[in-house]
């Protein structure tokens, strides 16, 4: 049985926007959560603010990012090293926050109704303009109304069709870590896609897709401002797995994004 949720958040001088994330956790009806900040050499003012947050709640902790772990995905890899049995992991940004006070409890109830442990549990998310709080688009891996269980082939087929789980709405656990223990630190923006693609090539994986909306994700981050680099890294990731057929998921990925922006509920 899964008993705890850990949220890993890489930070770098982002203390001004962290209250929304922290408050969304403190009001959760599921109380067995832990928040771990991995700080990438922020200013003293930022780090002191986080340390004070840790003092206010024993479930909040902070560690310094080690030099051998590079960038945001390096910080996530450092977080991976702290994974424990019977624990689900989330990787959030400083500008992400839980959608509702009951979402953790709702997810845990469903996950623990299964006897087997899934490598990934994929939920839904919403992209929000952080300033206006307007929903810009939704992030659904599959258009399901019920629980869906996927094996490796089904998961890889979904990725080939250009459908990608938002990593902020995806729970990782010890199973996934044992099978693929790190994100590529050579990629700056698309290492989450690269991870999912590589995991889809590992025999024996199992994926649970839930219809729960889990997280609000800001559209005002750095990655949204570096589109050319993202296009290149997405191309590389698909080509690495699908070879000459890379153009299929690459094209479908961006067609899907355009349709979601137009209709906002696909």
pLDDT tens-place values along the chain, 266 residues long: 788 999 999 999 999 999 999 999 999 999 999 999 999 989 999 999 999 999 999 999 999 999 999 999 999 999 999 998 889 999 999 999 999 999 999 999 999 998 778 999 999 999 988 777 788 888 888 876 557 889 999 999 999 999 999 999 999 999 999 999 999 999 999 999 999 999 999 999 999 999 999 999 987 655 555 789 999 999 999 999 999 999 999 999 999 888 876 666 44
Alpha carbon separation from 189 to 197, 227, 235 (Å, rounded):
15, 9, 12
- Return contacts of 258-264, CB within 8 angstroms, 24+ apart: 260/137, 260/138, 261/136, 261/137, 264/135, 264/137, 264/138
> Taking a C-beta distance cutoff of 8 angstroms, is the pair 210, 110 a contact?
yes
Of the candidates 94, 89, 97, the residue with the CA atom closest to the CA atom of residue 46:
94
Distance between CA 260 and CA 135 in Å, rounded?
Answer: 12
Domains, in order of start, for the chain: 4-263 (3.90.550.10)
Which tokens hold the place of 18? 């962290």
Alpha carbon separation from 39 to 72, 91, 152 (Å, rounded):
10, 14, 34
Pairing of strands 135-139, 120-128: antiparallel
pTM of the predicted protein model: 0.93
10 Å Cβ neighbour count for 112? 11
Provide the pLDDT for residue 181: 93
Displacement of CA 13 from its chain's centroid (Å): 20
> Taking a C-beta distance cutoff of 8 angstroms, is the pair 30, 5 a contact?
yes
CA atoms within 13 Å, Cβ hemisphere of 62: 21
Backbone φ, ψ for residue 216 (5° rounding) = -95, 130
């Amino acid at each position: 049985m899964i008993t705890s949720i850990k949220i890993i958040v890489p930070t770098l001088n982002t203390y001004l926007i962290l209250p929304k994330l922290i408050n969304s956790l403190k009001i959760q009806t599921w109380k067995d959560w832990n928040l771990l900040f991995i700080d990438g050499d922020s200013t003293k003012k930022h780090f002191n603010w986080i340390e004070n947050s840790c003092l206010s709640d024993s479930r909040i902790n902070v560690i310094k990012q080690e030099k051998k772990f590079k960038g945001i995905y390096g910080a996530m890899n450092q977080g991976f090293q702290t994974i424990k049995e019977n624990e689900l992991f989330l990787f959030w940004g400083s500008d992400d926050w839980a959608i509702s006070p009951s979402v953790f409890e709702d997810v845990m109830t469903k996950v623990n109704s299964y006897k087997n442990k899934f490598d990934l549990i994929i939920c839904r998310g919403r992209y929000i303009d952080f300033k206006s709080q307007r929903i810009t688009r939704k992030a659904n891996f599959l258009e399901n109304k019920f629980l869906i269980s996927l094996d490796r082939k089904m998961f890889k087929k979904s990725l080939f069709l250009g459908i990608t789980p938002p990593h902020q709405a995806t729970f990782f656990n010890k199973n996934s870590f044992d099978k693929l223990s790190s994100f590529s630190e050579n990629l700056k923006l698309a290492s989450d896609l690269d991870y999912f693609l590589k995991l889809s090539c590992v025999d024996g994986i199992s994926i649970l897709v839930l219809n729960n909306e889990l997280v609000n994700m800001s559209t005002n981050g750095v990655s949204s401002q570096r589109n050319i680099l993202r296009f290149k890294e997405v191309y590389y990731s698909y080509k690495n797995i699908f070879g000459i057929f890379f153009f299929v998921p690459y094209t479908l990925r961006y067609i899907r994004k355009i349709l979601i922006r137009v209709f906002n509920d696909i």
